[in-house]
Each structure stands twice: as structure tokens, then as C-alpha cells.
Chains A and B, each alone.
Chain A
């Protein structure tokens, strides 16, 4: 019965355009975001994935930075940058020469409305290694929680992080094809401070940065000064301190790629419990909560009425806690339907009583519980 009512409510949510904002708001919100927002995960640092902030440097500075980095023999240099147009002939030729000289560079592109946006043909490399930097998935709202590593059946497209992980031998192609074709929750370890990061000036002014050796170096944008007010290439992720309601974007795109790369390098992929299993679990737990709720209701409806809200609160707190414990061991479960159905089930016990009375009058149907 609870499932039918919940289904009707959901149907109304999905189909009534007036309720669209509610549906969208619910998509923006996930209980499990608390895990990352409040930093319940174990603190980690990573010096094998290094981020270089290119700020608003020109192509000459970027080319020089790539050369300096390449001299230190990193495993892979990932360019989270698109050189869409040609600008100055001489400077562009320097950049082109740099991109051609170093064979361990992975470039970026993205798909937009069916077309591919990538580097200008002038910068195209022979046997170019490139990955898509699209972060939004179908059905996913503005919060970046999941990613797809491999797209397409015949012509495979790899995401930027996946391509880098393949080039750096952090994963195998077989692993990528088997594990990364479906949407996977991103196992965030933190924002830019958990990765070793450098400003482009630090790179240009150094003869040698030993940490670059055998590391994966990502060049991307991490603000050009006043970070708190800079939202260029900054996105909403579960790391946002405000886990519900409106806030400012929290994480730069290159840091999201770094988190995905960290997850791939440590093979710490999230196992997502299927929708069927989630709803099956929700059904079982809802059944038991309604069952025990009815028992209390039958014994003493006054006690039930005064304890109902408290029990609902305890159920929410405990179920959310269990979901976070599972998340800690890389198991992701969508706990919202489980909590909502249990709460709704308890809320509807009064209506069940009326229904039982009506059914009893009409058909002589008797309930063992009410």
C-alpha cells in the first residue's frame, strides 16, 4: 500500500510540470553527499598526481611549463586545456613544436550538441592521445557525482582521466572496458589541497622539481588570485561545504579529473547497489517498520502518536548512518527511497486503519494487526 501511494506521489512529481522544481531540487540533493561535505572519509594525500595551475598564462608560458615538466620525466602530462583557435603564428608554432616533441601528452576535447570541440587542427598530433572532459551525465544535475570512463561500442571514446590512467599504466584497457562503461560514483578524496599542486610561475622559475619524476602531471586552471570569488571552470561536487541549498561552486574541473584518476589508480571504484536491490531492501524495511508500527498502534495508539515522530527521526538517522558506513567501504546505496518509504509507511498507519475498517464493513476482511 505504501508503495502504491509512494508511486502515485512520485508519478505526480514527475508528470506535473508545476512540481518540476521539486524533482530538480531532489536530484541536486543526496544524503550521501554529507560523507564528502563533512569530510567523513579518511584523509589522503597524493604526490603522484600533481596539478599545475596555468592561471591565465599565454601559450608561450604554457609551452615552456610543458617543456620544464617533461624534462623531469613524468609518466604522463595531461592538458586539461583546449587550444581551440590559432592566435599568434610564432607562439603557436612553439606550442605545436612542444606538443609534438613530448610523446607522453594527453590532450582534451569535449562533445557539445553532437559535435566535437577540440584543439585547432594546427595543433593536431600524429597518434594523438586524447580524452573527453565532459563531466555532466544524462539525468545528472549540476552536482558532479558520477563519471563514465568509456563511451561508444565500435569507436571507443575514453574520458580524460581514463585515457591518462591507461597511458600511465595505472589501469589496463581490459579493466577500463569491463569496469568503466557504466556511470560510477566518483570516490572523492578531497579538493585541490590533497594533491601536490604548483602555480605555473613556480614551475617556470624552477630548474628541477623532483616530484614530477614518474608522476602524472595535470595542467589546468585553479584560479588566478582571488579563489573565493573565482568560478571559472569551477563546479558543484559533493565536496561542497553546503550540502543542501544554494552555494557557490567548490571544485575546479582539473581537481575532479585528479580525483577520478586517484580512484582509478587505487582501483577504489565504488560498487553501486542496483535500483532493484535498493527497492527490494526498501520494501522489506518498509514492511517491518509498518509491521512494528502497527503493533505499537494496536497496543496503545496514544503511545504510537507521541513516539511516531521520534521513531521516524531515529529511522532516518540510523539508515543514513548505515549508508555512510557502506560508503566508507566503497559501497554506494541510494538511501533516499529506503528512508522515505519507511517514514511514509509509519505516517500512513492511520489511513490503513480506516481502510481496514472499510474493507471489513464491505467484504468482512479482517486484519491480524489492526
Chain B
């Protein structure tokens, strides 16, 4: 009797232990930390989280977790999440039912909205996203602001800055359309000539994406380059442009930026 009771108790304990749910890290973009037993470690795909764990998320991180039923939980805002707060972030996909999606598709087919896919017989490797500074620009500013075109369907962009002399590449992930770096940033050490590119892929083939180049110059080099456009500057002054507007024009048209 005593033995049976012990066996039942052990079985019940095992059942309760197994019933405790856990979350599996399904996908991670960026950096997140997992706190367990007062220690912290970076979260990796395939890690299992339980009720004792806390997750710390930095900005631009996207963490997808699933539970044993296959329910998806998505964390993307900076902060600390304990187990119960993770469960509040259930990600519901395909909220629309079959009926609505089916008839939407039929409507698209009838109105030919899905047609018009361009087919070309040639090599084309996508649009150049980079907007500013122009290719082969010379920049005399202590602040280098890179801007690019964004797409509403894409949330993350990867900026690559390559040192032209050493081929060393620095990568930045951002969700906006600009990145500002200062001249004293280690990225700009050891050279004056750099190339930059923006991609929507985290690991693009760098040999196969277009780069824009820029050179960092000092004030006297800038003045010297500017003096080549004296005639143009006189004409622009004559039509009433201020010196600031003239500098902007030189920068946006000829890539000589202050």
C-alpha cells in the first residue's frame, strides 16, 4: 500500500513537472539576453525558456518564440519580459478566415490585379537604395549622414561601410532611412576613401551589390574644389540663391559637400 502510494505520488509529480509549459526560441534577429539563476547569457535559436527566465531585448531585436501547441509569441520592443509578459505577446497570423481570403483572391483574379509581373530577359540585380551622399562624393563635414530609399514592406535595412584601402567592412542594422556617423568614429580610421551600400538582406553577397564611394576631405580641399565652380556660383548668386543654398546645390548635384 505504502509502495503504491509512493509510486502514485512520483507519477503525479512527474505529470505536473511535464505539464509545465516552456517556450522555444524559434527565430531571433538582433541581440537578446536570457536571465537565469542571476546569470545572463545571449539567447540563441533553439533555447528553451521557462517560468524562471527573464528576457531582455535591445532595440532592433525581433524574437519569435513558440510553445508546445505551436502558438507563436513575438517580442520586438526594447525591455525586460518575464514568462507571463511574453505570453501576452501572442502573434496571431492570418486572422482573416478562408472565406474572406478566398473571395479576395477571386476578386483580384477577376480584376486582374495580380497581373503585370514584369518579365525581362537580362540580368538585373535590384534597385540602388542609396540616396545621399551621391556616388563619388567628397565630404568636408565632421558629420556623415547617409540616407536611402525605404519600402513600406521592409522594416530592417543593413548599411555596409567598406574602407577602400583595407577592404574592412562595418555593418549597421537600422529600421529607418538614415544613419549619421561622426568623423571620429573608428569606422573612418585609417583611410579617407570609403564605399557604402544599403541592402535589405542581412547577409548579401557583397561582391554582387552596388556600392557608392565617398572621400573625406578637409576644409581647404573643399574650398579648392568649390573654387572650380566659381562661374556657376556667380550665376546662382545672381538668381538670388543664398550661400547655404549654393552649397546644398553643389552637394546634391556635384557631390561636393560641406
Contacts and interface: CB of A to CB of B under 8 A. Distances in A.
A138 interface: no
Interface string B96-125: 001101110110000000000000000000
A321 B46 contact: no
Interface string A17-36: 00000000000000000100
B46 A34 contact: no
A209 interface: yes
B101 A40 contact: yes
Contact of A211 (B48, B94, B102): B48
A20 B228 CA distance: 73
Contacts, number: 54
Contacts of A55: none
B2 interface: no
Contact of B46 (A40, A44, A198): A198
B37 interface: no
B190 interface: no
A169 interface: no
A258 interface: no
B93 A210 contact: no
Given A211-B24, A328-B98, A44 B105 contact: no
A324 interface: yes
B44 A206 contact: yes
Contacts of A45: 26, 66, 70, 72
A39 B46 contact: no
Interface residues of B, number: 21
A211 B44 CA distance: 11
Contacts of B219: none
Contacts of B101: 38, 40
B105 A34 contact: yes
A46 B70 contact: yes
A328 B66 CA distance: 23
B205 A209 contact: no
B45 interface: yes
Nearest to A39: B94
Interface in B33-53: 44-48
A263 B129 CA distance: 43
A226 interface: yes
Nearest to A44: B70
B205 A198 contact: no
B98 A325 contact: yes
A321 B101 CA distance: 11
A14 interface: no
Given A317-B106, A321-B99, A42 B94 contact: yes
A47 B47 CA distance: 11
B102 A40 contact: yes
A192 to B, nearest CB: 12
A196 B45 contact: yes
A47 B24 contact: yes
Given A38-B105, A40-B98, A46-B70, A212 B26 contact: no
A52 to B, nearest CB: 11
Contact of A43 (B46, B94, B103, B105): B94
Nearest to B47: A210
A173 interface: no
Contact of A324 (B26, B94, B102, B205): B102
A226 B209 CA distance: 14
A202 interface: yes
A324 B101 CA distance: 11
A198 B98 contact: no
B24 A196 contact: yes
Interface in A29-71: 34, 38-40, 42-47, 50
A47 B66 contact: yes
A360 to B, nearest CB: 41
7 contacts: A42-B94, A45-B72, A211-B46, A211-B48, A317-B106, A321-B99, A324-B102
Interface of A: 34, 38-40, 42-47, 50, 196, 198, 202, 206, 209-212, 226, 317, 321, 324-325, 328
Given A321-B103, A324-B98, A328-B98, 12 more contacts: A39-B94, A40-B101, A43-B94, A45-B66, A209-B45, A209-B46, A210-B47, A211-B45, A212-B46, A226-B205, A321-B102, A324-B102
Interface of B: 24-26, 44-48, 66, 70, 72, 93-94, 98-99, 101-103, 105-106, 205
> Closest 10 CB pairs between A and B?
A211-B46, A209-B46, A47-B24, A43-B93, A210-B48, A45-B66, A45-B70, A40-B98, A44-B70, A211-B24
